[in-house]
């Protein structure tokens, strides 16, 4: 069996987002919109953190999967392709994380 990739999940999300199947959670998120999905993503991030700090590896794996799924739904709703995120990550491989951080425009909030 070939390896399942985030790109495969992106394709599933794109097709389910416009589905009229009432059992589709992706379609429910799409109907509720990007702000709602962003809030769910935040909740999944917190649950992932809690799993990493105080739960077992199986729980962390499950929460990380929820997190990645919700991120893909949000990217879809914001019309940002996964390929754009991967291109940005690829660009960053040319430098270390701290060099990349120093090259970012200054953030007034930090």
Exactly one of 5, 11, 25, 50 binds ligand PRT (CB under 6 A); that residue is 25
**Span of 20-28, 52-60, 85-93, 99-107 interacting with ligand PRT by CB under 6 A:** 20-28
Q: Figure out which of the listed residues 6, 45, 66, 85 binds ligand PRT, where binding follows CB under 6 A.
A: 66
- CA 13 to each of CA 28, 74, 91, 95: distance values in angstroms, whole numbers, following the listed order: 12, 10, 26, 32
Residue from 26, 63, 71, 77 touching ligand PRT (CB under 6 A): that is: 26
The span from the CA of 13 to the CA of 40, in Å, is: 16
Largest alpha-carbon pair distance within the chain? 48
């Amino acid at each position: 069996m070939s390896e399942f990739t985030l790109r495969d999940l992106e394709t599933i999300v794109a097709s389910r987002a416009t589905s009229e199947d009432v059992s589709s959670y992706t379609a429910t998120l799409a109907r509720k919109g990007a702000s709602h999905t962003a809030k769910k993503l935040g909740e999944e991030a917190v649950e992932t953190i809690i799993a990493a700090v105080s739960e077992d590896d199986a729980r962390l794996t499950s929460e990380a999967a929820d997190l990645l799924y919700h991120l893909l739904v949000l990217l879809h709703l914001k019309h940002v392709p996964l390929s754009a995120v991967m291109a940005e990550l690829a660009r960053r491989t040319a430098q270390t994380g701290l060099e990349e951080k120093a090259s970012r425009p200054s953030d007034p909030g930090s």
